[in-house]
Structure 1
Amino acid sequence: MKQLTNNIQAITEKAGGTWGIALKDLNTKETWTSNGDELFYAASVIKVPILVAAYTAFDDREFSLSDTVELRKEELVGGSGVLQHMTPGTKLTIYDIMTLMIIQSDNTATNIAIDLVGKEKIRETMKVMGLEKSKFYNKLMVVPANLDGVNQVTASEMTSMLQQLVAGDVVSMHACEQMIDMMKKQQLQNCLPGRLTEQDSEIIGVPNEWELAHKTGSISGACHDIGVFYVGNRAMIASVLSKGVDDFQSPHFISDIGWEIYHYLKK
């Protein structure tokens, strides 16, 4: 892993800013961190703990994933996602809401999920997972923003959370399988998988050499991607958080890191 981490450090030094990175090779069990305990504004990365909390609430029989909710005009918020453009009164299942929250990073869907699950349930779920520094306080894109605090995460704790997901240690094995599968359908592909998507086969039906179950997050001044790489029979968890890097360049630097991880696993 030494060559990989040297290459990653060269990328982050070139990028400037502050980086929090935590890697875990799931085959060799090797780990590496850089500023792993540094706090970063969570942005949409916080949607993964919210997803875990939603599955926890489902497991506690607080609702069924097939239950429907009605989209209300007052719930529509900007930023990522399609629900803000849909007709109020549209009915969606809770499973659809959770899916949109992850694969499109839909902020309206996220806020609906927060209301369904409850802030305290989300905080308790994070506590059970051992996320001590990472904190959840508020909905997304809410104006005026009367906030108790700022949603924050660390790279080390995000990698720990993903480790619990791939091991089936959260909620249930079936729930973990569904959450990982959902994250594999992520439609925002400009960060960790950015360079990898350029080499995918143009021939229909040819399977990719890699998969990535991940969640991106970005606001002005911060850009993140956390996920699990699958290359052949190899797998690695990577949590990459950044702040103070040029907003237009940060996804490219993160995609360079993803490229290095892919080639490390392919070897």
Structure 2
Amino acid sequence: MLRNSARVPLKVLSAAVALAVLATTGPATADDPGRGPAADQAQTTEPGYGGDGRSHEPGLDPTPERPPTSEVSWLSFPGGVFAVDSLGHTVRYRACDGDTGRVADPNMRVAAGVASGVVVVGGAAYRYRVPLIGRSEGRLEVIPQHRPPTTLTGVVVTSPQPPTDPVAGARLFPLSGQLARVVADANLNPAGATVRDLSGRYGDQQIAVNGSLRPKAASVIKLWILVELLRRVDCGQVFLDDGVLVTPEDVVGGTGQLQFETFPQVVTLHRLAQYLIKYSDNVAANVLISYLGGFAPVNALIDSMNQRSTILARRMLDSAAAQRGEENYTSPDDVVSLLGAVWDGEILTPASRDLMIGFMREQTLNTKIPAALPPGVPVAHKTGDLPDASHDVGYYLIPGTETAVAFLTAGPMATGDETVRRMARTVYDFLVDPVDGAVEE
């Protein structure tokens, strides 16, 4: 929030939580959003369908007898999250008042699609009852020492979230086949796409082709950097008109505008956040990583949303880190998990959500999704480019058909760009003409 503007009301949590060392998950990785030197070969998964994890044959009833449970879910409540891993028997509380880190609960009870238990961290007890079915209601009681308990309730988030209307959602399934043909044709580029309806037109259904593909994240990782900054704004811990000193040592090349300015100078958090997305600014990304406290807080955000394919492990254009094998990774499913949580107000307040989407609408690198669509189609997006990766992710903002999309590829960037454009146009054609929508040749 800007210090002089009206603040969005946010429930201040009263629990006193000891701040533990922030744990990260997955192998060490890193990010390079510019079109710089080639780094290590992207890791990919075997071709297959991601998203809801089921194949859908014509004529079969897509409605499950009961909503499917997940091994991981997280409870969204004002100011924070409570993550549950029912397979690993771990939990994590992360809110405005602190972060427990990943905590083992060997006595976690999992029954009837609900994980429940109690853990004690730093003198505070956390008694939870969190369903493993998305869109359910969960409950967390925070019991600090010498203070009254706080009861928190909220929506449970899984990846993917189950559809609100399976019958309407079934109408989105043919898009999987169309995207699969585009992916199969991309001989030089392992590719993945995840699509989630946000409008209700398709019952908030999510579909994917190779949704677990895990290429280098490139500049797509900047979305998580922005969300972590805006989360702190929502908590009242920082203000967007706060200034950060940027020095000549912070300047790197690649994409962005700040590299052409004179330093040292003080740059506001608002301008850093805007440039991070609008120009995919590498200087802004590196400065914000330092401002936030390094990689750990961003990875804590990722971990708290159970996004297991994504990690931030190096700064932009850090070739030495890349040579050490430190790389940033993500997946189409994780990207849409983040975009969906932002859209639904599960990780940011409405004011911060609107600001983030506004920055994505200002994107100046428009050679992929926007170039594939007819002029004037409203989109908000974020690109990612490396010599061996090409991505574009974001929102189609067609009124009444709002949709979150993630198109990721590995392999040569030039052919990857074209694959992204074909996937982007395939989705658009389906949305505007679901009966006759076809793959653009």
Please report the TM-score for the alignment, with normalisation by the length of structure 1: 0.89
1:162 has 2:334 as partner: no
1:144 has 2:299 as partner: no
Match of 1:23 in 2: 195
Deviation at 1:195, TM superposition (A): 2.1
Match of 1:182 in 2: 359
- Map 1:82-231; keep pairs closer than 5 Å: 82-118=257-293, 119-145=295-321, 149-196=326-373, 199-200=374-375, 208=376, 210-231=377-398
Specify every segment of 5 or more residues in structure 1 that has no aligned partner in the other structure, as ranges. Answer: 201-207
Distance 2:285 2:265 in 1: 16
Match of 1:10 in 2: 181
- Greater helix fraction, Structure 1 or Structure 2: 1
Instruction: Please state whether the residue corresponding to 1:96 is helix, strand or coil.
Output: helix
Match of 1:265 in 2: 431
Distance 1:102 1:175 in 2: 14
CA contact (8 A) 1:111 1:139 kept: yes
Single out whichever of 140-149 and 158-167 deviates more from structure 2: 140-149
Instruction: Please state whether the residue corresponding to 1:163 is helix, strand or coil.
Output: helix
Single out whichever of 120-129 and 55-64 deviates more from structure 2: 55-64
CA contact (8 A) 2:342 2:348 kept: no
Match of 2:155 in 1: none
CA contact (8 A) 2:197 2:404 kept: yes
Match of 1:255 in 2: 421
Instruction: Please state whether the residue corresponding to 1:153 is helix, strand or coil.
Output: coil
Structure 1 counterpart of 2:184, which letter?
A: E
1:242 has 2:427 as partner: no
Deviation at 1:44, TM superposition (A): 0.4
CA contact (8 A) 1:135 1:152 kept: yes
Deviation at 1:88, TM superposition (A): 0.9
Distance 1:257 1:172 in 2: 31
Distance 1:174 1:55 in 2: 10
* Change in 2 beyond 3 A, CA 1:137/1:87: same
Distance 1:254 1:56 in 2: 30
Distance 1:30 1:189 in 2: 27
CA contact (8 A) 2:252 2:283 kept: yes
Deviation at 1:148, TM superposition (A): 7.7
Higher Cα Rg, which structure: 2
Q: Deviations over 1:76-99 (max 9, x none)?
A: 011101111211123321110011
Aligned residue pairs, count: 256
Structure 2 counterpart of 1:133, which letter?
A: S
Q: Deviations over 1:125-147 (max 9, x none)?
A: 11222212211112111253276
Single out whichever of 145-154 and 90-99 deviates more from structure 2: 145-154
Specify every segment of 5 or more residues in structure 2 that has no aligned partner in the other structure, as ranges. Answer: 1-171, 434-441
CA contact (8 A) 1:231 1:266 kept: no
Structure 2 counterpart of 1:239, which letter?
A: A
- Map 1:56-75; keep pairs closer than 5 Å: 56-75=231-250
Structure 1 counterpart of 2:392, which letter?
A: D
Distance 2:432 2:410 in 1: 29
Deviation at 1:160, TM superposition (A): 0.8
Larger RCO, structures 1/2 (Cα 8 Å, 6+ apart): 1
Distance 2:213 2:416 in 1: 18
Structure 1 counterpart of 2:354, which letter?
A: E
CA contact (8 A) 2:321 2:327 kept: no
Distance 2:212 2:222 in 1: 19
Q: Deviations over 1:82-117 (max 9, x none)?
A: 111211123321110011011110101100111111
Match of 2:160 in 1: none
Please report the TM-score for the alignment, with normalisation by the length of structure 2: 0.55
* Change in 2 beyond 3 A, CA 1:91/1:168: same
